[in-house]
Chains A and B, each alone.
Chain A
């Protein structure tokens, strides 16, 4: 996931700093869904290429009944504000999802 995001970003001429930020953002959001040890299930990721950036949408279809945090911590917000143009974590019909947008400067 990090590599795909980085690969697409590099085609969009993101700088190395921007690519590193993108990876941090994706890790931070996906971490909520898959957890640090990894959870049973599938993580579906959709990458959309914009004129000047990248949109990433993730959905966690978890097979085990795991409690997933519904809200970003304050610290995660600080991180995501620094590394992305927008970031959101939510539950849609019980499915944990996240969205991230990162634009090129």
Chain B
């Protein structure tokens, strides 16, 4: 797309219109988007076309200097601030809130001339693994409309998978980019903690949250990371580490990209093949590993002995930080104010009714874990175990491993309602991703085939600041599997998503919870299959 734009063979306006059309048409069936801003998107596209035309008039060199994302449509998760726009974070408590300023990454995207199509659905305050915890209704998986897209960034991953945008932004606190990327069959990267400034992003758990890209291949993901990464004075946790320009130069040649693998040393952590992993998922992952070995990588089984403690540690640290971060939603300065009594009554009503069930659960957990008498037993203990989890990874880097290869999610996309009754079963969705957040490391999920007709993700994990190597590894994996049949397949249910009479995700989720999902999905239900 970028080349066509630079040569003037297509305009950003045409490209933007071509993406807006399916996004608008399919939002009834997919509900990937909370807002689609056609007018602003077309204005941004026209501005990009003007920059492209000016550069072309200046000559070939000027056109080459343009960032590849100029004029390219992008989706933003609805917790990224755009001045004057909404940022609900999937919550009723931010209903009607208008951001007074642009997030750092919004500024960066504007600077390079990317076109923001709109804001995508998410689990409320990014707490969830299915996007079912959005206060605005769930999102469907483009591969199977009765199934979840993963979460919390399920709107962005579904939008990229459904070709509504080539690129999307998500945030990842325990797997919220990588897990939905795996379940929707796209690429999703969680960069190193501190790689991307979080200024203007709604906070969940501040020692874990990180912003990252969704794309349909490694080169696109690298280009988007290149735009948003880097030090920003307004986020003191954004690190002064240089962002390599090589992110824009990943090899387009499959032979060259695959050659990178020769002699690389990859670790296969045995603990990531957890109990409850679906056999089809394990098969695809092991085939992926075999392909890497076949292309010259040395893969050795390794151990991350504290993996089994990751879940408990995460579900102390993240809720504790969330309970503190979400104290700001008090109905005083912004958002709806409920109750009409004393300050206390207003707080209780505003927060009691403004937050959804999962958010309240996490605030309760966090408040309890931090409360007098329990701090040492829970929060301090978890912070110490966190050290052990990080040391597990550090010892492998010290032994010279270039990266680790593992499953992203133990299962493929699950049906609506399957994990809503039991919070712990939902939490287990992130068993293979959350240790990476605990250790602050970068991780990426790339598609590695289908199981039961649904996408499976392969996860690569690297040392801090090794995003470029992980993207080269991902690019190499794409190169060696370029001829695989599954790469030619498009999401199965996209034709049904075009049907205006197909049920909405909310209707599907309601039907699932009423136990009649069978009727909706059976092939006999011809009305749904125009």
Do these two chains interact? no
Residues of chain B whose beta carbon lies under 8 Å from any beta carbon of chain A:
none
